[in-house]
A and B are shown apart, each in its own frame.
Chain A
Amino acid sequence: MQTETVHITPYRTLAWVLITLLGLTFITITATWIDLSALTVAVALLIATVKAYIVLTYFMHLKFESSLFRVFVFMVLFIYVLVIAFTLSDYLFR
């Protein structure tokens, strides 16, 4: 049985998180109307990553879990990003 105090996320926090996410979605959509050519992907991915970070931190409760979970998430994403980068070392330089 857990004896530590349990963190309960207030409804209001979750509501604000939702509003932020909806706002970022709106920004993503409008940003794509502006043509930045190659940068468009980067901007879209950047905003998506901010949204993902918010979902991970608040909805998935990572902010309030032990740091071990955050380390794991970071390592997994780090490895994955490197795999993409190394694969692109083939395709971008052919």
Chain B
Amino acid sequence: MEHRDDIGSKLGMWIFIFTEILLFGGLFLVYAIMRSSYSTEFHQAAHHLNAFIGAINTVVLLVSSATVAMSISAVQKGNKKLAVILLLITLLCAAIFMVNKYFEWGHKIHIGLYPGSALMLTLSHGQVMFFSLYYFMTGLHMFHLVVGGIILTIAIIKVQNGSINKDRYVLLENGGLYWHLVDLIWIYLFPLLYLIT
């Protein structure tokens, strides 16, 4: 006896999304407090971030959200090939984001700007807090992006082999929801970290 409840499945995914919102919420809370205590120093520290790369990453994630949403429409319309292409574009966007991040972090680590480094310990309190938040928040976000990428890869395989299809696609919807969460977090991270100069 198959017990299938797509709405229940989606509800479960939304609740999981709520837990992720609260998880990052703790970090945004720390940000709010540190920013209110050290607004000038946050402003100074943010100059070390490259707003251009941040903007590219924002655009890339927004596009990836659009493509994953479109892939669901494609599956609903029975257009398997288009769905796979759109999902591959989504993954490509994820990869671009990861490459950018790699260079961003790599550069900072290279010049000695990371938590606990000798250089960090010479900076003012507010700047240290800024960078700690930067690394923790973008790091945790990256982790979720990678997980999202894995979920989407699984989704591509399932669309390709037909287990996600026109009559049965809640797994893709749920994967899409997770991906949108990754996008949503970045929508807030970008201005709060990169645009406070």
Given the known interface contacts A25-B58, A76-B18, the answer about A69 and B32 at a Cβ–Cβ threshold of 8 Å is no
Tell me whether chain B's interface is mostly helix, strand or loop, or mixed: helix
Complex interface: stretch among B101-109, B115-123, B184-192:
B184-192
Chain B window 164-188, contacts with chain A (Cβ cutoff 8 Å), 1 for yes, 0 for no: 0000000001001100100110011
Give how many A residues have a beta carbon under 8 Å from the other chain's beta carbons. 46
The A/B interface has a contact count, at CB < 8 Å, of 114
**Residues on the B chain within 8 Å of A83, using CB:** 25, 29
Q: Does B92 contact A (CB under 8 A)?
A: no
A40 contacts B65, C-beta separation under 8 Å: no
B6 contacts A2, C-beta separation under 8 Å: yes
Tell me the residues in window 25-61 of chain A with beta carbons closer than 8 Å to chain B beta carbons.
25, 28-29, 32, 40-41, 44-45, 47-48, 51-52, 55-56, 58-61
B32 contacts A88, C-beta separation under 8 Å: yes
Contact of A18 among B55, B62, B77, B187 (CB under 8 A): B62
Contact of B69 among A9, A45, A52 (CB under 8 A): A9
Q: How far is the CB of A27 from chain B (nearest CB, A)?
A: 11
B183 contacts A55, C-beta separation under 8 Å: yes
Given the known interface contacts A8-B76, A60-B177, A91-B37, the answer about A28 and B195 at a Cβ–Cβ threshold of 8 Å is yes
B191 contacts A87, C-beta separation under 8 Å: no
List the interface of chain A (C-beta within 8 A of B). 1-2, 6, 8-11, 14-15, 17-18, 21-22, 25, 28-29, 32, 40-41, 44-45, 47-48, 51-52, 55-56, 58-61, 65-66, 68-69, 72-73, 76-77, 80, 83-84, 87-88, 91-92
